[in-house]
Amino acid sequence: MLPVLQIGPLSLPTYPLALLLAGWIALEVGARAARRLGLDGDHIYNVGVYALAAGAVGGRLGHVVAYWPAYRTQLLEIFGFNSRAFLLWPAAAAALVVASGYLYRQRLPLARMLDAAAPGALAGAAVASLGALLAGRAYGAAARVPWAVNPWGVSRHPSQVYEALAALAVALLVLQMIRRGSRPGAAALVALAGYGLSRWLLEPFRAPEVSATILGGLRSAQVLGLAAALIALWGLRVLGQRTGEAGVVAE
């Protein structure tokens, strides 16, 4: 475990560094995939940066609205550098709106852009998982396996490594699909199915977290993962049918 990188007198927390690296890798891999699909790779960087900025603003605004009584007497805190003062869902919504707006204004093909972004997002997720391993976050369930790690004095599954390997495997599969010229949207749907199934499969290897359960003890990450995988499989089914129909019409 290496939660802090000590460089002389400088203490750098590894997890935020890993997240920065993950973001850069996600954009770079996505841009390369976009070029392979005949798109301008800069669009991936633009969407990523705009979405990040919108997410930061939306996340902070959401926090201000949710905790307005606390901000009312300290208005300057609205602009403060506090990494905790963000809410996820407003951030995600703002990022989605801005990214959609960019795609619409640039008249970019949605399915192809999602195909391009998918391997980058998976590679970024893999790096973030390895960052969590270094920082001792999102650690695994107790285990007696030869490859167990020992964060906080307990032998555990290196669940972050399992998750990173799964994300990388799906990313490689998706890149292979892109190289072979898959149908628009298929690579993104396979990425969603693969990632969803990996979360569904691997979540039990994480340390149990009762606060992350629904319906009397079901792990929410597993439920969401399975739901995402089923939606993606349904999408692939529809995509296959449409392509088939299009082929018939063309004949």
Give me the residues that bind another protein (CB under 8 A), please.
3-4, 11, 13, 63-64, 66-67, 70-71, 73-74, 77, 80, 82-85, 136-137, 139, 142, 151-154, 197, 200-201, 203-204, 207-211, 213, 216-219, 222-223, 226, 229-230, 233-234, 236-237, 240-241
- Residues 6 or more apart whose Cβ sits within 8 Å of residue 121: 26, 30, 191
CB of residue 175 vs another protein: minimum separation in angstroms? Answer: 22
Contact in structure between 12 and 4 (CB atoms under 8 Å): yes
CB of residue 109 vs another protein: minimum separation in angstroms? Answer: 24
Comparing CA positions, the residue from 190, 203, 201 lying closest to residue 231 is 190
Pick 43 or 206: Cβ nearer another protein: 206
Comparing CA positions, the residue from 194, 218, 55 lying closest to residue 126 is 194
Beta bridge partners of 181: none
CB of residue 168 vs another protein: minimum separation in angstroms? Answer: 22
CB of residue 80 vs another protein: minimum separation in angstroms? Answer: 7
Report the run of H or E that residue 7 belongs to, with start and end.
strand 4-7
Pick 106 or 243: Cβ nearer another protein: 243
Pick 28 or 77: Cβ nearer another protein: 77
Comparing CA positions, the residue from 57, 33, 37 lying closest to residue 45 is 33
Pick 43 or 219: Cβ nearer another protein: 219
